[in-house]
Amino acid sequence: MAKVRDIAVVCGDGIGQEVIPIAREVLSCLHPEFEFFPVEVGYGRWKRTGEAMGADELALLKSADAILFGAVTTPPSPDYQSVVVRIRKELDLFANVRPVKGDGFDITVVRENLEGLYSGIEEVGENRATTLRLLTRRECERIARFACSITGPRTLTVGHKANVLKSDVFFREICLHEASVAGVKCNERFIDALCLDVLLHPASYDVIVTTNMFGDILSDVAAYLVGGLGMLPSANIGEDYALFEPVHGSAPDIAGQGVANPVAALRSAALLLRYAGDISGADAVEHAIQQVFSGGIRTRDLGGSAGTKEFGDAVLYELGLKGTT
């Protein structure tokens, strides 16, 4: 259990500005002793200052016990480096944990978070562009051991494309070896078939470990099971730091309208509570979200008409932290 008191809050860009204040309010109502401090990072800061994250912001993030993170826009430009990828590397957040939970299934996607196709080793030339898919023994072992540690008596599935990619032959062998050392039940699937099978038979899966880009795609696909991207939280875990963020991005198409679904952000706050050892607080947030759904309140992406704030207020009300909605 981690000691958590100081929490860095990065709203970031787009709907991050709308959903993170809701998650923060729930955390501060449940834990008045938490100290929050804002950190400005992202495309908005880049447009204002020419830098998406400065040394001061990085130091602030490192000074926090935990980070609540919204979303940052990453324009597809050769001169712009993804700030969230940089933060993951600077803070050595090697494991990205994405729970996908619904009626009759409880899947956790564990995504290697530092290398693979996000190695940052790339080059764009006149007639050729390359991105190096780097997998090191150290990171494969680290992510495999982490996945085994959270699998326990359940089953670990290794998602890979070892029939085509030599780097995945390497990844697969390390994962299978670590599972056997840990005594964890383990099977494997090709990642493309796995994306379909997770949708067809979600109850067949417990923990899935995979490489960086495959994990990103798999978790977006799995979002279909629970109503879309507005629903899925994630935890980025390292040895010394932890960052909690919705799986979704900044959603520029709906930003500024007050209609974004705050559930992914609220669930990310619940993961932060779990990390801090407040399991009953985390369960209460999850339960409150279900109660709000049962009461028929939903945001637009789920076919309802509630706004972001209205949904957040309803969750606070269910938690007994606010008067009538």
Per annotation, catalytic residue among 13, 43, 118, 275:
118
Can 192 be counted among the known catalytic residues? yes
Residue that is written with structure tokens 């480096």 in the block: 81
Residue number with the smallest Cβ distance to ligand ATP: 249
Distance, in Å, from the CA atom of 278 to the CA atom of 193, rounded to the nearest integer, reads 37
User: Least distance (Å) from ligand ATP to the CB of residue 73?
Assistant: 5
In this structure, what token pair is assigned to residue 158? 């290794």
Residue 120 vs 304, nearer CB to ligand ATP: 304
* First vs last C-alpha separation in the chain: 35
Element (H or E) spanning 59, and its range? helix 55-63
Distance, in Å, from the CA atom of 4 to the CA atom of 126, rounded to the nearest integer, reads 49
Number of residues in the chain: 325
User: Least distance (Å) from ligand ATP to the CB of residue 76?
Assistant: 9
Stretch that binds ligand ATP, among 96-104, 253-261, 283-291, 309-317 (CB under 6 A): 253-261
Distance, in Å, from the CA atom of 220 to the CA atom of 236, rounded to the nearest integer, reads 16
Task: Write the DSSP string, 38-49.
Answer: E---SHHHHHHH
User: Least distance (Å) from ligand ATP to the CB of residue 320?
Assistant: 25
- Which of 142, 137, 138, 86 has its CA nearest to residue 110? 142
Distance, in Å, from the CA atom of 271 to the CA atom of 150, rounded to the nearest integer, reads 14
Q: Which of 38, 252, 256, 277 binds ligand ATP (CB under 6 A)?
A: 252
User: Least distance (Å) from ligand ATP to the CB of residue 275?
Assistant: 22
User: Least distance (Å) from ligand ATP to the CB of residue 293?
Assistant: 14
Site string for ligand ATP, 282-301 (x = CB under 6 A): -------------------x
Can 216 be counted among the known catalytic residues? yes
Q: What is the DSSP letter of 252?
A: T
Residue 135 vs 247, nearer CB to ligand ATP: 247
Can 283 be counted among the known catalytic residues? no
Can 240 be counted among the known catalytic residues? no
Residue 21 vs 249, nearer CB to ligand ATP: 249
Interface residue list for ligand ATP (CB under 6 A): 15, 19, 71, 73-74, 229-230, 248-254, 260-261, 264, 301
